Amino acid sequence: MIPLSVKKTCPVYLGPKAGRLFFYRYKVVEMLRSKPLLLFTLCLATLLYSLSAFGDVTLPKLLASHMVVQRDLPVHVWGWASAGEAVAVTFRGESKTATADDLGRWSVYLAPGKAGGPFALTVKGANSLTLDDVLVGDVWIAGGQSNMEFAMRQAATASADLPKAANDRIRLMIVDKIYSDYPKTDLTGRGWTASTPDSAKDFSAVAWYFAREIEAKEHVPIGVIDSTWGGTVAETWVSMTALGADASLASVFASRGHQTERESTALLEDLQQKREIAEAKAQGKPAPQFPWHPLLNMWAPAMLWNGMIAPLTPFPIRGVIWYQGESNSIIARNPAVYYHLFPALIEDWRRQWQIGDFPFLYVQIANFKSTPIEDWPTIRDAQLKTLELRNTGMAVTIDVGNPDDVHPTDKVTVGNRLALAARSIAYGEKLEFSGPIFRQLTQESGAVRVWFDHAEGLEVRNGTLTGFEVAGADNVWAPAHAKIEGSTIMLTNATVPQPVAARYGWTNSPECHLYNSAGLPASPFTSVR
């Protein structure tokens, strides 16, 4: 080994994202003290190599061959280069130029265009990049927890549909699971690919069925970005700025505090559980089962927003489909905060994308027995109330869940119901896209009448008209006799002579059989505000 004793400095360019020269201290061996020319040569060679190796124009992972860019909106192309470097972008016969700023960042917007392709997109600076097979159509983000992450290969209909999944007009991208303390400017994950049996098998089943339906009905290329993480809470998908600006979300930070306070105990529990599993395996016994424990940072406020959503926001989109809420049902975490948290998430995403109130379509969580420590009706009701936001739509799934499995395998129904909402809200089709939605309650002699929107042709399917309850001024709930009268429901109970409130499907796993003539189920609700 040669002893390191003398420190010298020479300038080294640290890469396109830094975009400028920094000084890095090099330790140089003692013999270089007497050879300054050798030191100078070493520094110069390092500088020239760095400029040639790292001065290239680069693009974010999101911009790649086989992608779909959003039609009818300006095409945003951005990236990094050497500070002051001129960058030219050409797409569909149009060229725009930009100059990288002193941090190496550059950005151009090209004119909007209609659906079509494939096209090539070229980027030229010190080097040249070409993105091939670029389509113009509609881009949707698929977000949420495990029921959105749930892969096509696991769906009940996979054996029939996966072999037929080849569709070059549907493009898929999966974002890697990553959390971050600050908003990332780039992401990791698989690049864009056309839908094939192989690329679709690990993709979100709900999102794939949604894309299949939209492509077939709207006849435009569809790109879907799967950015999901099973078991996550909503607050980790919201920016810290939005969370901190809303005092009604304070319990989010209290819940985080409780989690961090017991993390040292949780880690010890994990070690003990691993020992017990190893002992059982050594003895040839079945492995013991333990309650699931989330990773500390996968539930941290804003962490997944920072790592998995923020890098997507410069990319224009058509809208979002969302399936989440189960993990926020834990009573100790205050499920009622979801009344504020979920709308805050939607408004935050719209604000961050800066393209207006794009459609945000979501799934109301399904029926599941769960445990007494979870409150699913409150989450469903918060999702129902969130329909008050502009350009939102909700797919009710209270009839296609599995009471014994939090991950029901019927994803085609879920995807198709989201697609119905998109066809109406995003694409303007005249069709019924929602089941009956509670509008108001009126009192009658010894009864209450429930009024609905989307209530044409109320009917009972697959059972009897159960799940309704009424309460008097004492707020004591009792099962109600329900009768369909036109587009309303009349509710009575002999033990509640003057009912003033009503609710429907107010358990974790209710029996719900009320539909409209379009075959779409009514949402659970409560008239109590």
Helix (H) or strand (E) holding 349: helix 338-353
Contacts of 331 (CB under 8 A, 6+ apart): 373, 374, 375
pTM: 0.89
Kindly give the pairing relationship between strand 468-471 and strand 21-29.
unpaired
Pair 377, 398: CB distance under 8 Å: no
- The sheet with strand 468-471 has its strands ordered as 477-479, 468-471, 501-504, 525-526
Burial 110-139 (b: 16+ CB within 10 A, else e): beebebebebebebbbeeebebebbbbbbb
* Residue 177 near residue 206, CB atoms below 8 Å: no
For residue 175, list its beta bridge partners. 189
Q: Which of 207, 228, 103, 218 is nearest to 155 (CA)?
A: 207
Q: What is the pLDDT along the chain (529 residues), one digit of tens a residue?
A: 434 333 333 333 344 334 333 333 333 333 334 444 444 444 444 444 444 334 799 999 999 999 999 999 999 999 999 999 999 999 999 999 999 999 999 999 999 999 999 999 999 999 999 999 999 999 999 999 999 999 999 999 999 999 999 999 999 999 999 999 999 999 988 899 999 999 999 999 999 999 999 999 999 999 999 999 999 999 999 999 999 999 999 999 999 999 999 999 999 999 999 999 999 999 999 999 998 889 999 999 999 999 999 999 999 999 999 999 999 999 999 999 999 999 999 999 999 999 999 999 999 999 999 999 999 999 999 999 999 999 999 999 999 999 999 999 999 999 999 999 999 999 999 999 999 999 999 999 999 999 999 999 999 999 999 999 999 999 999 999 999 999 999 999 999 999 999 999 999 999 999 999 999 999 999 999 8
Which residues have C-beta within 8 Å of that of residue 40, sequence separation ≥ 6? Answer: none
- Of the candidates 376, 434, 382, 386, the residue with the CA atom closest to the CA atom of residue 406: 376
Structure tokens at 221: 């290329």
Contacts of 194 (CB under 8 A, 6+ apart): 66, 166, 167, 168, 170, 171, 172
DSSP single-letter state for residue 354? T
Helix (H, G, I), strand (E, B) or coil at 378: helix
